[in-house]
Structure 1
Amino acid sequence: MKLGLLYGGKSAEHKVSLQTAKAVIQALDLTKYEVHPIYITEEGEWVRGAQLTSPVENVEQLRLAENGQSVSPTALNTEIFPAEENQSGSGKFDIVFPLLHGPNGEDGTVQGLLELLNIPYVGNGVLSSSAGMDKVMMKNIYAQAGIKQPAYTWYLRRDWEKDAEAAYAEVENKLGYPCFVKPANLGSSVGISKADDRDGLAEAFRVAFEYDRKVIVEEGIDGREVEIAVLGNDDPKCSVVGEIKPEAGFYDYKAKYEDGTTGLIIPADITEEEYQRIQKVAVESFKAIDCSGLVRADFFLKENGEVLMNEINTMPGFTPFSMFPMLWQESGIEYPELIEELVQLGLERFKEKQKIKHTF
């Protein structure tokens, strides 16, 4: 089976994508899959590497800019496989696995390209990827669906530049302190700051606007941070629940990907009733934006048992410190088996879409 791995990307989460790609390659059965790496540089250039016959040892091996072949994104099923390298079968991918995090990859752009090229792919489709990436749109949809979540407000850079003090005053009136300021279209805790006063809020806005033209501000919640992994298409299933206990003020980029000091409790110490409640909201959230394949759903669990949706991640990381594979491992699905199931779910969704009529 010809499997294309898309990783890297023109995104502030480029390095995270490389770590994900390394971990997935190390877990893939290279005797079962014909694995072809396609690296997207930080400038947006697509570079094809040689077929992988052994796992990579470090992420630097995945930077193919110097020893790869530049290719066009719109020719994934032609110039990717030159005739001399394609003696044994079809010149097309059986499936593509986008291991991209953040804008220009996790946000529906690459998924739209693959849809137009009619190539099967792993994970969420255009709508769910786009809505899941934009935290404002996601929360608006969840509000409409009646899913409980922390109070929030949002701003465009243009409006902030016109009257920053009015924005700060509105945040103080609506949300108070502490609050969290985030780029609307980014993940991996990049650009996120906790604000405890007006000066901290001003700095948090400045940092967030470096990464997006739109920011979202959320009220601080006094509750436990818990996460659950979801797997499936139309009938999704859930993993056990995990709890995050960061040593720092919150679960930031460094805690997620660099120091490994954050306490990850799997399974979380919760009641069966709390688990059922979290599972129910996770599935509702998955279906509300028509997700497919995989999602990590993040919640706040308050002392009174109330569950508040924080956000979903439509392409969660697969690094050694990542919750998604760890949650499934605790649920009885090992890493290689998890990847295999994701591939099959992608093929299943593609087959389902082929039933749609395109003539009238």
Structure 2
Amino acid sequence: MGYKIVVVGATGNVGREMLNILEERQFPVDEIAVLASRRSLGTEVSFGERTLKTQDLDAFDFTGWDMALFAVGSEATQKYAPLAAKAGCVVIDNSSLYRYDRDIPLIVPEVNPQAIHDYAKKNIIANPNCSTAQMVVALKPLHERARIKRVVVSTYQSVSGAGKDGMDELWDQTKSIFNPVDDKPAKKFTKQIAFNVIPHIDVFLDDGSTKEEWKMVAETKKIIDPSIKVTATCVRVPVFVGHAEAINIEFEDFLDEDEARDILREAPGIMVIDKREDGGYVTPVECVGDYATFISRIRQDSTIDNGLNLWCVSDNLRKGAALNAVQIAELLGREVLKKG
């Protein structure tokens, strides 16, 4: 016996990836519905060998459905997620709307699976920000060994984190570089993204940080430990898919780089590729389509007493969004609903 699953926002990048991953991981689906806004009504999407037509989100009745994976913006989520939750369908939400609600668990299954039991307070579970998800997978096993005091992270985030419009803008601007007559000014991003990097993701806050940077701070504290200090600089780079992060960690106790490497090799969801030679590390291009969070460049930081540096790469459409949501659904089914 399997589950009745709804994918909300099935025509977007993340929604389509959710469908792919549900099929790839052989999630026990008895029945599936794919929903979209009325402007995308009837659009066909693939689910394994099946072709599904999207239904109208506005008219859909969530009664009798087990789980709804939401891959729409905060505005639509705010309207429809409570309706689904009230109808008895557990919402797994990919937007930022519910991440900071004390009554809603924010979950990365490799990191804080025990939080799944808190879902019943509002029948909603939040999926973290893409840049946070891959980082906490790397931090948690190290924190358990030596306790992390402070994290300094610089991100190199692909344009797919900004959706299809971001990917289209990089593609169009890259082509226009070689055809000056066909100028493509910045629309989705604040400056040209082709052959450039932009130290600005989401809106600016009063303290000079951006909302994306604030998310990494707040979500790391909620998922792992509120005592961890985090400072982030988030940068958009001209890469289509795959986020990378340079992470500097200060621990309470000394942690040797070789022990850290061994700990990470044994940790769930992580693949360590760390050879001190040309190409002995993973880049965003190589992580696309993979489930793992890849760790490379593990080394001591000699400027502080108990410091390590590492390089962290992951497919942001997978671990940063769709995969994590499906893993939450698997965890919910395994630990709570227990059908499949």
TM-score interval (norm. to shorter): 0.3 to 0.5
**TM-score when scaled to structure 1?**
0.37
